[in-house]
Structure 1
């Protein structure tokens, strides 16, 4: 009889508070100058990130209502010349403690380092800046968007699996392009590839839109890419200014990979394995478009907060942050492996998709790359390399 009572007690649900816990999450963005797309097929997305956060909030509500946790989403837009710290001050005054930060690196630093930010949790969903995971890291900032180093390592593993060891690196002129090129150089050294040639793209992208633009590109690109033999052209063009011009126009018939061509990414509309089709369909129904990388990062950020709040049965940002950094937290991210946050720098460890324009090609980490902890930690900065000091 005693055994039966113990078993019954184990099977009974844990008591919940009669008082409903309300958790409000703010999506914070900043006004940006409009960017002219390379392709006429591209359309301006006005709810980038926000739509993913909305889907994450709906997912949280499905589970949260059973334990009387209510999730609410608000969005705030910082003016182009506005002060991120002022926006955070207003959010703090409203009692909001959770921020999904769709901000560039300088704005995120300003927001997360402000005085009012000390009791808040920020999750970065936009910037891949490695410094934010290293010397500029903060204890109140997590990252669901992959770092440049993670993306470069994912590509290097795949190229080495294909035995494409000789790389020709073409880099854009933007600061982010330079940093990504540094990540590619590091990855090449780390995984045994060789960068046999490097060039910087200097052609003005607007020239391609003239009536004879394709003719000019057809002569400019072969001249630019006439270098020593190589297995693959690796492109660093985060601003998406020129990389799409390269496939089909290079001097040698070689694959293009990196930011264009065969891309490394946290998410792609072509992903359909591990239940991804279901996530894609729900997003399209909500947003009327396909899910992008920032949408996925924002969805993962909101879901992470929700999962930690539900598991810890708390609405306290410090309790939720502690749970997110613990070994107990795992997010089902529709990419085949559970995703969690690295305790040494706050980066979400996750598989990286290798995607073509229409189909998924592969997923890194590749087979054979082992790690004493998680194979996902073969992508990006490992604990011993980290310069992050909380």
Structure 2
């Protein structure tokens, strides 16, 4: 018996050593390239933008990946390059691509496309972690560009599923004056049409008064001529005025979109599926809560590490092929494994709908079925896409 146990131990050790040698010598040099933004002023200072937004998520993923990497003999490096708002991101991108072909992009959509179109980037693997623009996943998609932040369409589809479940058919809309607000409002319109709904009366927010003092007087008058509706949608992606709309409308109706009930990639109120452990680790690291951009950067780096672990390779072509395959799955604290859509590089993921200090529900909701994955009811599905770069 002792001799058999010894043989089993030797065999197990040889398998372990063999596995390490097969998957050893894998080194991932990952860069985080950020083009800093100058944000327009908003009415309230209650939600400041962290200086390490996005970067902190990538740093947490690096620590998570190094834990497994030590056992397998893999190494992961992360370098952060930040370009000031007035700076040109292209020279920085060329410098980054000279040393790394795995890059997380934190920048507006035009910059994302400019970097993705560089000749030096054609053999690289890029991850958009902060730009929600639908066009990046559709008409402006690029074959070397993946997306871990949900698109506008994914968030608004999640919201419309909830609206359908509540049978709210009469919808009104208040839209901000910024381009980001217009993009989110357009996504709301498309999602409403997708689910057989239509947004009725709408107004554009034009106030420059201090709503911290005047909301109770101004908002009822502003919303009085919207008529009757079941739900008031608000498109205010900069967080300027939306917080002053709930409970101040002329009609006592629920509010959703950019305030009250909000579809997000991630929030501190996501607590199920082991999320509390990650929330705590992130808070211990940064002293703040995890934002959607942090989660997207975390998911991008973890996806790369998972692909390297499973393939034992570090070259972008092999990693890209595996990420787009049916074999790839990312455990990401949302109750089901995440995967990439092979037609546009978007990370499939559930969308929490949050309100204040609680998650109300997570989309896709029960009853919204799909022949492949219910997650594909959120955002551009294969028959809807015009992206050709992944074919």
Is TM > 0.5 for Structure 1 vs Structure 2?
Answer: yes
Q: Does 2:74 correspond to 1:72?
A: no
* Map of 1:98 onto structure 2: 102
The counterpart of 2:29, out of the listed 8, 24, 49, is 24
RMSD over equivalenced CA pairs, Å: 2.0
| Alpha-carbon offset, residue 225 of structure 1 | 1.1
Offset at residue 43 of structure 1 (A): 3.2
CA distance in 2, matches of 1:365, 1:189: 17
Residue matched to 2:297: 298
1:109 aligns with 2:113: yes
Q: How many Å apart are 1:34 and its aligned residue?
A: 4.8
Q: Indicate conservation of the 8 Å contact 1:125/1:297, yes or no.
A: yes
Distance in structure 2 (CA, Å) of the matches to 1:177 and 1:228: 22
Q: Following the alignment from structure 1 to structure 2, what is the Cα–Cα distance between the partners of residues 326 and 366? A: 25
CA deviation after TM superposition for structure 1 residue 31, in Å: 2.1
User: Is residue 2:15 matched to residue 1:12?
Assistant: yes
Which deviates further from its counterpart, 31-40 or 120-129? 31-40
Q: CA deviation at 1:196?
A: 2.3
Q: Which runs of 5+ in 1 are unaligned?
A: none
SS across alignment from 1:75: strand
Residue of structure 2 in register with 1:150 after alignment: 154
* 1:273-311 Cα deviation digits (max 9, x unpaired): 111101100100111111001000000011001100111
Equivalent position of 1:126 in the other structure? 130
**2: CA distance, partners of 1:58 / 1:76:** 19
> In structure 2, what is the equivalent of residue 51 of structure 1?
56
* Structure 2 CA distance for aligned equivalents of residues 191 and 47 of structure 1: 37
Deviations 1:61-106 (A, max 9, x none): 1111222110011100123232222112111222x11111111101
Q: Is 2:354 aligned against 1:355?
A: yes
Tell me the residue number matched to 1:338. 337
Alignment-derived partner of residue 370 in structure 1: 369
SS in 1 for 2:21: coil
Are 1:26 and 1:76, in contact at CA under 8 Å, matched by a contact in 2?
yes
Counterpart residue number, 1:252:
251
Q: Map of 1:178-193 to 2, 5 A cutoff?
A: 178-193=182-197
Cα separation, 1, equivalents of 2:46 and 2:227: 34
User: Is the CA contact (8 Å cut-off) linking 1:119 and 1:317 kept in structure 2?
Assistant: yes
Offset of residue 223 of structure 1: 2.0
Indicate the SS of the match to 1:119: coil
The range that moved more, 31-40 or 122-131, is 31-40
**Residue of structure 2 equivalent to 1:208:** 210
Aligned counterparts of 1:361 and 1:228: Cα–Cα separation in 2:
27
Contact 2:42–2:238 (Cα < 8 Å) also in 1: no
SS of the residue corresponding to residue 210 of structure 2 reads: helix
Instruction: Report the Cα offset of residue 254 of structure 1.
Output: 0.9
Deviations 1:195-225 (A, max 9, x none): 2211111112xx317xxx523x333211221
Q: Is the Cα contact below 8 Å between 2:33 and 2:93 reproduced in 1?
A: no
| Residues 88, 116 of structure 1: 8 Å contact kept | no
Contact 1:344/1:383 (CA < 8 Å) preserved in 2? yes
8 Å Cα contact 2:31/2:103 also seen in 1: yes
3-state secondary structure, aligned to 1:170:
strand
* Deviation digits for residues 118-152 of structure 1 (CA, Å, limit 9, x no counterpart): 12111111011011001110011000000111111
Please, which of 173, 191, 197 is the counterpart of residue 177 of structure 2? 173
Report the 3-state secondary structure (helix = DSSP H, G, I; strand = E; otherwise coil) of the residue aligned with 1:349.
coil
Cα pair 2:129 2:293 within 8 Å, conserved: yes
1:62 to 23, 43, 67: 67
Query: Quick one: structure 1 residues 313 and 343, their matched pair in 2 at CA, closer, same or farther if it must change by over 3 Å?
Result: same
- Cα distance in 2, alignment partners of residues 322 and 121 from structure 1: 11
Q: Is the aligned partner of 1:308 residue 2:307? A: yes
Contact 2:54 2:295 in 1 (8 A): yes
Cα displacement (A) at 1:36: 4.2
Could you list the runs of 5+ residues in structure 2 that have no partner in the other structure? 1-6
Change beyond 3 A, Cα 1:276–1:361: same
How far has the Cα of 1:376 moved from its partner?
0.2
